């Protein structure tokens, strides 16, 4: 009996590796990277943390154009460019002489690299290769960020401890390129053949490859009611957990809980996020997407309510588990729904454009939570405000059309 291995699973392996490398080297490992800058340049903590702000801001602004490029041009070449950008970024960090230079490098090289190696590129690639098992494939790939976060920051810290920090950053940059570039060059295939796509989708080859890469007219996208509804729902899903994790040390400190236990809660939250991604990957292809999003939103509301009512560490652990598992499903639902509504060959550009709407929510939520605490001496109003946002998202969700072809933009492109 002949065994036919589906080439799409190689694309999943590549996407898992790239998401792990990009998330861990650019975001999770940021606190490791900037520790030497603190000693060398002496910036304030606020300036030190601006690296993540400028990276998120610039990647959000660049994602519409780069997302469209991912749908129109060679995915392999663009991913190779992303690998080179991140590697060169670390090489440049090793020769910086001021914190301003560090921020510029993160705003340009790391921001572009995070798009070309991150979830947008991976979702665009896997949406083309999978139909029946699209959610499973994307969920496995998304777990790369958690795996990378466990492995790469300790490796980077070991290099910095063992060598002069400039040499360590150079070695890390070379390692990233050596780890990713050959894999991309050898394994990434931009699109499946009609026969491959038909085999995975379980359809006839003549009908499997009908969706072509069409660049959505900007006007039609922003006139599309579905586009705005989905963007607001996903933005609300992303911003609450981000604000929570950013403020959790201060939150538990107000309850008399030590910072070390607060850090443990962050680890528990991260583990729950990974678990949520994998569980969602196993079921998302078999459930109603609107119902799944509703369960996720309600779970987030329950988690936030538990944080609001928590009086001790045990209940905080439960709240972290529920909130973390719910937040782990957000990216997967976003990717799968966009592929279903707009077609698998438009995922990159739609995620990129939607990021313009989601980005302000994710950037503003952490400082807004902190501002509420500064104003009132408590996070209670912040949690209640976010639960009201969840209620609003549930109202939006009832109006979303998740059937392919029902959006204005999808009709315009067909």
pTM of the predicted model as reported, rounded to 2 decimal places: 0.74
pLDDT at 266 over 80: no
SS3 77: helix
Contacts of 157 (CB under 8 A, 6+ apart): 32
- pLDDT for the residue numbered 215: 52
Q: CB of 237 within 8 A of CB of 99? A: no
Buried b (16+ CB within 10 A) or exposed e, 86-119: bbbbbbbbbebeebeebbebbbbbbbbbbbbbbb
**pLDDT reported for residue 403:** 63
- Give the Cα separation of 15 and 139 in Å (integer): 10
Q: Would you state the pLDDT for residue 384?
A: 93
pLDDT, residue 13, reads: 92
Radius of gyration of the chain (CA): 21
Of all residues in the chain, what percent carry a pLDDT higher than 90?
28
Q: Which residue intervals of the chain bear CATH 1.20.1250.20? A: 8-208, 218-413
Of 38, 244, 286, 16, the closest CA to residue 143 belongs to 16
pLDDT at 4 over 70: no
Q: What is the pLDDT of residue 54?
A: 86
- Model confidence pLDDT, tens digit, residues 149-198: 778 888 888 898 899 999 999 999 999 999 999 999 999 988 887 777 77
The class level of CATH for 218-413 reads: mainly alpha
Degrees (nearest 5) of the Cα angle 150, 152, 158? 110
- pLDDT tens digits for range 5-19: 778 888 999 999 999
Class of the domain covering 8-208:
mainly alpha
What pLDDT does residue 155 have? 87
Dihedral angle sign, alpha carbons of residues 296, 301, 307, 309: negative
Q: Is residue 281 pLDDT above 50, yes or no?
A: yes
């Amino acid at each position: 009996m002949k065994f036919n291995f589906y080439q799409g699973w190689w694309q999943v392996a590549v996407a898992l590796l790239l998401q792990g490398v990009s998330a861990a080297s650019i975001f999770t490992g940021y606190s490791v990277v900037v520790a030497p800058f603190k000693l060398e340049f002496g910036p304030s903590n606020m300036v030190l943390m601006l690296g993540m702000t400028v990276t998120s801001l610039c990647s959000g602004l660049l994602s519409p154009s780069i997302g469209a490029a991912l749908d129109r041009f060679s995915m392999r070449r663009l991913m190779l460019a992303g690998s080179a950008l991140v590697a060169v970024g670390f090489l440049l960090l090793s020769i910086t002489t001021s914190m301003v230079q560090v921020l510029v490098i993160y705003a340009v090289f790391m921001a572009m690299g995070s798009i070309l190696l991150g979830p947008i590129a991976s979702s665009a690639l896997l949406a083309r290769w999978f139909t029946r098992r699209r959610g499973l494939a994307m969920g496995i790939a998304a777990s790369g960020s958690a795996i990378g976060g466990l492995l790469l920051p300790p490796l980077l810290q070991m290099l910095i401890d063992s060598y002069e920090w400039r040499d360590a950053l150079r070695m890390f940059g070379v390692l990233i390129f050596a780890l990713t570039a050959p894999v991309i060059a050898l394994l990434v295939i931009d699109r499946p053949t009609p026969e491959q796509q038909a085999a995975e989708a379980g359809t006839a080859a003549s009908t499997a490859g009908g969706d072509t890469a069409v660049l959505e007219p900007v006007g039609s996208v922003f006139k599309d009611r579905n586009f705005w509804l989905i963007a607001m729902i996903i933005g609300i899903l992303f911003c609450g957990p981000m604000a929570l994790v950013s403020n959790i040390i201060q939150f538990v400190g107000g309850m008399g809980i030590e910072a070390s236990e607060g850090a443990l809660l962050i680890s528990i939250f991260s583990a729950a996020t990974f678990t949520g991604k994998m569980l969602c990957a196993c079921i998302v292809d078999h459930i109603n997407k609107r119902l799944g999003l509703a369960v996720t939103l309600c779970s987030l509301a329950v988690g936030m309510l538990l944080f609001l009512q928590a009086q001790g560490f045990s209940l905080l652990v439960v709240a972290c588990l529920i909130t973390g598992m719910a937040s782990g499903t957000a990216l997967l639902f976003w990717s799968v729904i966009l592929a279903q509504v707009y077609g698998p060959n438009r995922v990159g550009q739609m995620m990129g454009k939607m990021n313009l709407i989601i980005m302000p929510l994710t950037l503003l939520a952490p400082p807004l939570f902190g501002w509420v605490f500064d104003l009132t001496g408590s996070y209670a109003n912040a949690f209640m405000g976010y639960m009201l946002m969840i209620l609003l998202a549930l109202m939006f969700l009832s109006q979303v059309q998740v059937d392919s072809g029902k959006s204005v933009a999808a009709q315009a492109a067909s």
